[in-house]
Every structure is written in structure tokens, then in C-alpha cells.
Structure 1
């Protein structure tokens, strides 16, 4: 089973990212679950979402404390939250940043790092700094969960005929631009 923890801020689409990924995995005939963890937070407050992916039925119903992958939608969280808490020894941290993967690896001591300037991609492709679908592209580049193309139907269904293609294009561009170290 692959366990993913997503860190973002309210309004950035972290929960939507989790749901989109889980739906795409299920559409491919595997098992997945996605759920958020937040209280009465407001827009901009730190939010965490979780995704589990497996070839077998998932019976766990608890937060993920030892993730294989951490996805960070907002780089400002790196200085206020220990995003890699409990990260597996061979885990990967996927970060929305304009800093290099090597720089983050040295600074934080993470085993593997993947980076992409998802905010730039989102602004250029979507016209808004919402990085949820962009960061899914980075995640799929860093970890062999699904081919990026497997996200197209989930994105189209969620965002409709006008925004779906734009979000899918942003995902594809981020997938191509992600650097893994």
C-alpha cells in the first residue's frame, strides 16, 4: 500500500487533489481512499489530506502517520510545519517551489525530493495560483502510481468542459517540468 499525505492551505485544493487521485486510481481498477483532516479552519489555514492506494481492499480508517510520499502545495508551510514528519526511509517529498530539489534535499535532509514551480504553471495555464492539479502532475512524475493520462477523465468530470482541459494541461506541464533528486 502507498500512503500519501498532502499539505496545503485552505482554498488551495489539497482535498480536491486527494479526491481526484483516488478516483483515478479506482477508475484503473485498484483501491484507494482519500480524506481530509481539518477542524474549523478558514481559507489560508494549514490543511492536511490523505490518500491510500493499494491493489487490495483498504481497511485502515485512520490518518497517515508514516507516509511514503508527502505532497506540499504551499512552500511557506516548510518553515511552519514538519511536513516530512514520519516520512518513510525511502520516501519522497514533492514540493511546489522555485528552489532546486538538491537545495531542499540538503537543507531538510529528505531522502528524495521532487520540485516544480507549480504556482507559475498554474498562473500561466489556469490564470489562478491554485496548484492542486499541477501538483498531481508532479506527484505522478515522482512516484509510479498512474500514468498522467489516467487523470484526464477525473479532471474532466470534476472541472467540466471549460476548466477540465486547462487543468489537465497544467497537470501535464507540471509532470514534464518536475525535477526529482
Structure 2
């Protein structure tokens, strides 16, 4: 089982992104679980989503405390101490940022670090900062946990062709830094 924590700000589509990953995983015959956590429910406040993906039924029903993967929608969250809480040794970070890896304060236990400028992609294609579908494209590339085409189809069905294009562009531009 892989446990994933999505982190962003209210209005960035974190909750819907976690639901789309589960839909794609289930369509491929996996088991999936999405658990949203809103905290203060207002635009711009920190929002979390928790995911579990597995080949076996998932019995655990609580938030993710020790994620294998962090999917971070907003690099301003890096200044919050709890952003990296519980990240497993060698865990993967997928980060929406225009910065270079050496300019980021990342934890020593991070294994693979994937960077993509989901904000620029979404602003270019959608005309606004809504990086959720772009981040899903990067997630598909970085993890291989869900099939890219299945996920892109779910995105198109839910949000339309422009969002599918944002995910596809992010898939192509996401880069790993070790």
C-alpha cells in the first residue's frame, strides 16, 4: 500500500485531485481511498487530502501520518514546519514550483524530488492558478501508480479538454532531481 498526502491551499483543487486519483486507480482494478481534510474552510488556507492506493483491500480509515509521497500544490507551504511531518525515509516529493531544487529547503529523508511549474501551466492554459490537474500529470509521471492515459481520461471527463492538456503538459515537463 502507498500512502500519499496532498497539500495545497483552499481553491487549488486538492480535494478533487485526490478523488480523481482514486477514480483512476479503481478503474485499473486497484483499491483506493481518498480522505479530505479541510481545517479552516476558506480560500487560501492550508488544505490536505490523503490517499491510499493498494492491490489489496484497504482497511485503514484515518488520515495519513507517514506518507510515502507528498504532492505539494504550493511552494509557500514549505515554510510550514508540518509540511514534511512523517515523510518516510526515501519518500518522494512532487512539488509545484518555479524554483530550482537548490533554492528549496527540503528534508534530508526525501528520496526522489520532482519539480513542475503547475502554476505557470495552469495560468497559461486555464487562465488562472488552478494547479490540481497539472499536479496530477506530474504525479502520474513521478510515481507510475496510476496509468497516465486513464488519469487523463478521468480529468477530461470531469474538467474538460483544457485541464487534460494541463495534466499532459505537466507530465511532459516534470523533472526528477535526486
CA offset digits 1:4-35 (Å, max 9, x no partner) = 00001111100011000000000111100101
Hey, what does 1:47 align to over in structure 2?
47
- How many angstroms does 1:80 deviate by? 2.1
Q: 1:23 to 1:41 in 2, by over 3 A?
A: same
Q: Counterparts of 2:101 and 2:166 in 1: how far apart (Å)?
A: 20
Cα distance between partner residues in 1 of 2:18 and 2:74: 15
**Is the 8 Å Cα contact of residues 7 and 46 (structure 1) preserved in structure 2?**
yes
Q: Which runs of 5+ in 1 are unaligned?
A: none
CA drift at 1:49: 0.5
* 1:10-159 alignment runs, 5 A limit: 10-104=10-104, 107-109=106-108, 110-159=110-159
Distance 1:86 1:70 in 2: 10
Does the aligned pair in 2 maintain the 1:102–1:113 contact within 8 Å? no
Relative to the length of structure 1, the TM-score reads: 0.92
Deviations for 1:60-100, whole angstroms, at most 9, x for unmatched residues? Answer: 00110000000110111111243221111111111100112
Q: How many matched pairs?
A: 176
Q: Any idea what SS the aligned residue of 1:98 has?
A: coil
Q: Which moved more, 1:120-129 or 1:33-42?
A: 33-42
2:165 to 159, 164, 169: 169
Higher mean Cα deviation, 94-103 or 13-22?
A: 94-103
Cα distance per residue 1:149-181 (max 9 Å; x no partner) = 11133213322xxxx111111001001101112
In 1, Cα distance between equivalents of 2:111 and 2:54: 23
Q: Which residue of 1 aligns with 2:7?
A: 7
Shift of 1:112: 2.1
Deviation at 1:102, TM superposition (A): 4.7
Aligned counterparts of 1:88 and 1:135: Cα–Cα separation in 2: 21
Deviation of 1:39 after TM superposition, in Å, equals 3.4
For 1:39 and 1:85, locate their aligned partners in 2 and report how far apart those are by CA, in whole Å. 17
More divergent stretch after superposition (20-29 vs 135-144)? 135-144
